[in-house]
A and B are shown apart, each in its own frame.
Chain A
Amino acid sequence: MDKIPILKMGKFLLITLQVDLHDKVALALQDDVSNMIAQSGAKGVLIDISGLELDDSFIGRVLGTISSISRLLDANTVLVGMRPAVAITMLELGLSLQGMHTALNVEDGMELLNKITNAPRNGANHSRNGNHTKR
C-alpha cells in the first residue's frame, strides 16, 4: 500500500495529493498527519489538491477530518489548488470544510499559513470564523 509522503518545512507540513487516491490510503494519511503534528509540533499543514479528480467525494470528507484534527492539535490547515468542479461537488455534498483556509497556489498558501500562525492570539482571532481565500 502506498503511503503519501508528508514533507516538513520549518514549522509546517506539506502534502501533495494525486489522482486515484485509494480510500484506505486517505484514511492512513489522516493518522499520519495527526501523529506527525503531535511529534513535530508543526503549526500548519498545507495540502495541495490540484491533482484531485471530481469523483473523490470521500477524500473531501477526509480533508475535513484532517483539518478538524489539526485544529485540535493547535495547527491550521490551508488547501491549495481547489478546482471549481471539485468545489461545487463538495458544496453539494455538504462538505463545506468550515474553518479550513484556501489559497490559489503553494506560495500564497505558505504566506497565508505564516500570517495565520503569527497572528496575535486574542479573542478576535479571525482564523476561527470561516474560510479565508488569499488572492
Chain B
Amino acid sequence: MTKLLVPVTEPSQVGDARRRASALALNLGFDETRTGQIAIVASELATNLLKHTRAGGMLIVQPLRTPHSGMEILSLNHGAGMSSVAQALVDGYSTKGTLGTGLGAMRRLSDQFDIFSQHDFGTIVVARFINEKEQLTKPLLNFSAISMPQRSEIVCGDSWCYMETGAGIFVMVADGLGHGPQAAEASEKATEILKANAPGSVCDLLRAMHKGLKHTRGAAVSLAQIDLHNKRLNFAGLGNVSANLITAHRKEHLTTTNGTAGFEARTIREYSSIWTNDSILILHSDGCSNRWSIDNYPGIESRSASVICAAIYKDFSKNHDDATVVVVKSHSRI
C-alpha cells in the first residue's frame, strides 16, 4: 500500500511528488494528457513549498472515494502565511521574482481548487481532479476525509464512510481499538455493516455494528445522518470518536455514549440537531486532538471541506496514533 503523505523538505522530493501523483492518476484511469497535467500540479505545489517556506511542508496525494471518483493533492505547511492570496492568484504576480503563473495555472488545470493562508499558521492548497467517466452525479454535500496510519504502521486502523441514500446522507468514522491490521479489520467491518444496512435509524445501525463486530477487537464508532429535506442531523456514537457540529461559529460537541462497538454497548442513544446550509459537521478519531477551534482560522468556514479538513489535520493530529478527520458541509454558493 503506497503511503499517501509525501514530505517536501528538499528538491529531490519534488520528483517523488510528481511520480506519486502520476502513478495514482494512471491507476485511477485518467488518460495520459490528464495525468501529465496532474503531474504538473503536483510538481508546482511541491516546488512552491520549497520556494516559499523555510521548513518545506508536505503533500497528501490520495484517491477520492465515494461520493467522488478521482484524486486530490493537498499541500500543507506551517509557514509564515501568504500576505494576500487574492493577489497571488493573479497571473504575473510573484514575491520570488518568477513568472508568477503558478497558482493561476494550477487552478486552471484542476477541476476544483481551493487555498487558505493565514499569518503564522501557514498555507493549505487543495487541487481536485474528477474522473468524469466514473462520476455521474454531483455529491449532495461537500465532503473531505484525511486518514493516516500511526507512524510505524502501514495500514490505518481507522475507517470512514460517506453514503447518500433516499433517507439522507450517512457519515461515519470508526476507530478500531489499538492500531494495525486487526484494528483495521474492526473498523472496516463497521463500514461494511453500514453499507449493507443503511438507510435506517442511527441507533439501529450502531446496534448492528455492535453485534457484527463481536469477533473483532472492537471499534469506537460515530455515525451521523443528515436529512436535508427536514433540515436535521441525527447522531449516535459509541466511544471516543469526536463529533462536532459547527453552526454560526458555535462548536457543538455531539454526545457519544461510553462503550466500544463489538465489546461493550450498554446504552446507545440518538441525538438530533438542526442542519442548515451553513452547518459544518466535523468527525475525528482520537489520533487528532479536540482542542481546535474554527475561530482560530477566520474565514475558513466559507472555504471547501478539504481546506477545513487539512487545517485541523495539520495542526492537531498526533502521529503516535491513527488519525482521521472528516468534514461535511453544504456546497458553497460562490
Contacts and interface: CB of A to CB of B under 8 A. Distances in A.
Interface in B160-204: 177-180, 182-183
Interface in A93-111: 93-96
A36 interface: no
Contacts of B182: 23, 58
Interface stretch (A6-14, A49-57, A71-79, A124-132): A49-57
Contacts of A89: 240, 286
A6 B215 CA distance: 29
Interface in A19-67: 23, 53-61
B240 A53 contact: no
Contact of B177 (A54, A57, A91, A96): A57
Interface residues of B, number: 25
A2 interface: no
Given A61-B217, A92-B239, A54 B264 contact: no
Contacts, number: 59
B71 interface: no
A93 B183 contact: no
**A57, A61, A89: residue with the most chain B Cβ atoms closer than 10 Å:** A57
A59 B287 CA distance: 16
A93 B240 contact: yes
B239 A58 contact: no
Nearest to B182: A23
Nearest to B265: A94
Given A58-B217, A61-B177, A92 B240 contact: yes
Interface residues of A, number: 17
Contacts of A55: 150, 178-179, 286-287, 320-321
Contacts of A94: 238-239, 258-260, 263-266
Given A58-B183, A61-B217, A93 B177 contact: yes
A21 to B, nearest CB: 9
A89 B256 CA distance: 13
B154 to A, nearest CB: 14
B178 A23 contact: yes
B57 interface: no
A61 B286 contact: no
A56 B157 CA distance: 12
A60 B240 CA distance: 14
A95 B260 contact: yes
A78 to B, nearest CB: 22
Interface string B52-82: 0000000000000000000000000000000
Nearest to A91: B258
B258 A92 contact: yes
A89 B318 CA distance: 15
Contacts of A58: 177-178, 182-183, 217
Nearest to A23: B178
Given A58-B178, A94-B264, 11 more contacts: A23-B178, A23-B180, A23-B182, A55-B179, A55-B287, A58-B177, A60-B177, A61-B260, A93-B177, A93-B240, A94-B258
Interface of B: 150, 177-180, 182-183, 217-218, 220, 238-240, 256, 258-260, 263-266, 286-287, 320-321
Interface of A: 23, 53-61, 89, 91-96
What are the nearest 7 A-B pairs in CB distance? Answer: A58-B178, A94-B264, A94-B259, A55-B321, A92-B240, A58-B177, A57-B177
